[in-house]
Amino acid sequence: MNRYQKFKVGWVYLPLGCWLWAPLLLFLLILAALVWRLANPPDSDVQSAMVGKTVPAFVAPAAVPGKPAVTSGDLADGNPKLVNFFASWCVPCVGEAPVLTMLKQQGIRIVGIAVRDRPAELRQFLSDNGDPFQRIGSDPESRVQLAFGSAGVPETFVIDGRGIIRMQHIGPIEADDVPDLVQAVKDAR
């Protein structure tokens, strides 16, 4: 049988030479699927199931001297605020710091939760990047972070005056995000 002879597949006769191209076609199909998935990634944001619910009960001891600890009761004091999960080792947190300072200057209350951080590094971070926080709690084992349904740092939650989580902002806060966050805090009153 030479390559010009026909080979029967079911009810269709195909030339033998076309079978030589089958592995290449299969490879190209797989490659096209991979390229498409890389060009169109799925949404990787992990939304917290806690949005719309009361802040979980917690006590986060003071992360640095001179700043009070943070408890769930502090978040239900009648005033809306932002709770920002951050860390001194987090590169995007450095970029977010000036924007948090800008929010503080607009009268937004900000509470910080330092995730898996050490006091010395945290003090240096605050000294280098500013300190927009009213309180900073320490979360050395990410228990508070996980209780909020947070997946990483930086991550920020809008908390209303009754201690209910109203909004979640995943990733660093950028200047473009400020109007939406300010409005969310105003709406949480």
pLDDT at 60: 97
Q: What is the pLDDT of residues 128-156, one digit of tens each?
A: 999 999 999 999 999 999 999 988 999 99
In eight-state DSSP terms, residue 8 is E
Query: By the 8 A CB rule, do 76 and 55 touch?
Result: yes
Structure tokens at 66: 């001179």
Enumerate the domain spans of the chain. 6-39, 59-187
CATH superfamily of 59-187: Glutaredoxin (3.40.30.10)
Mean model confidence pLDDT for the chain: 89
Taking the CA atoms of 123, 116, 57 and 96 in sequence, report the sign of the dihedral they define: positive
pLDDT at 10: 62
The band of 25, judged by pLDDT with boundaries at 50, 70 and 90, is: confident
Please say if the pLDDT value at position 47 is more than 80.
Answer: no
| Measured distance CA(90)–CA(142) in Å, rounded | 14
pTM across the whole model: 0.77
| Measured distance CA(115)–CA(90) in Å, rounded | 10
